[in-house]
Amino acid sequence: MPSTLAAFLCFLFLTANISGAAGQEEAGKQPTATAGAEKKITEIKIGYLRAYASRLTLSLLDVPPRDEGVAGANVAIGDNNTTGKFINQKFSLDVTEIKPESDAVQAFGDLLAKGDRYVVADLSAKQLLSIADIARDKGVLIFNIGATDDRLREEDCRINVFHIAPTRSMLADALAQYLMVKKWPNWVLLYGSHDEDHLYADALRRAATRFGGQIVAEKEFKDTGTARRTDTGATQIQQQISVFTQDLPEHDVLLVADESEVFGTYVPYRTWTPRLVAGTAGLVPSSWHPASEQWGGIQMQSRFLRTTGRRMLSKDMSAWTAVRAVGEATARTNGDDPKKISDYIRSDDFSVAAFKGQKLTFRKWNLQLRQPILLGDTKSVVSTSPQEGYLHQVSELDTLGVDQPETKCALK
């Protein structure tokens, strides 16, 4: 009997061990299967379409770096992937270049063929409009980082085009607020002869009317095609400035509208009478400044410098913000549906942090990003607009640019 009992107990022990081992094996397999399901990665492809050609500037320091804008987008891709790995999202960037006067439709189609459903666009207004409706019909969202034309946010606005770059009217309003706060209300306007110069001049005129500045005189500087980067050409333009500003009425500030880079850089310190210069030269309004340190800006600047080997410019910050906006929206909606992303970005719940002292949101009436404008010279940030005292019932940021009661936009 003892031997029989021992054999029986041994049989029960072995049976229990085999069942337990099988159970543990099945239990071990279950988490593996679940983990495999959790690791399914959502790939979010972002296109970057830029119109690029090397261009002459009056100062060698103003020559844009070859990767202007693209560098900012790449840094943002890295930032998106840092958080994306925790929620199984992976971001990538496809960069395509065309000439400034080229047709953008074919290049845009190539990005669509690669599966890009979000496109960062550094294009002219004409090029942007040529692809906007195609993108809308294909369910693609465009983030404009290059064109500052107000008409893209007004009579030519589109429901699928979000504008990161500030408008000319926003830049002009930011400058006008500061000049009025400083009690420098009398301005002379000097503008170039190219279309973009005229548009900037229009924005400055509008800002003067809006904030009480007085443009006491205007003069157009004609582009005669002088070889600006030769010794004789540079000397000729510099010598012209003194005579060009000789017969002006009494004023506080010279406003310069020279987006085409013909004469503006040569205005400071070369005028007939000693006066402050602002606009596209002197004190310049922009969406970012390479010396911005406030609100965590030094952290962004250091990280960008480490990654790219140079300082961050306005277009880099705009591209960074565009890519981060996609990253923020896809994280919050937990998916890659452009319709849901668009709805979320336009909702009250969306905001993006961009090292400017407050979270940034889009204006619902024209999809322009609200943002502070930095006023700076070549070395430092002088001030930030909106200026203290300029109040608004919704957001002080809406004192810059076209406000909702003024808008001509009907999103379609």
For range 166-178, the mean pLDDT: 98
Judged by DSSP in three states, 362 sits in strand
pLDDT at 102: 97
For range 261-281, the mean pLDDT: 96
* Whether the predicted pLDDT of 87 surpasses 80: yes
pTM of the model: 0.89
Buried b (16+ CB within 10 A) or exposed e, 288-299: bbbbbeebebee
Cα distance between the two ends of the chain: 93
How many CB atoms sit inside 10 A of residue 193's CB? 15
* Whether the predicted pLDDT of 61 surpasses 70: yes
**Strands 253-257 and 214-221, sheet pairing:** unpaired
pLDDT at 22: 39
Q: How confident is the model at residue 239 (pLDDT cuts 50, 70, 90)?
A: confident
Q: What is the mean pLDDT of the chain?
A: 90
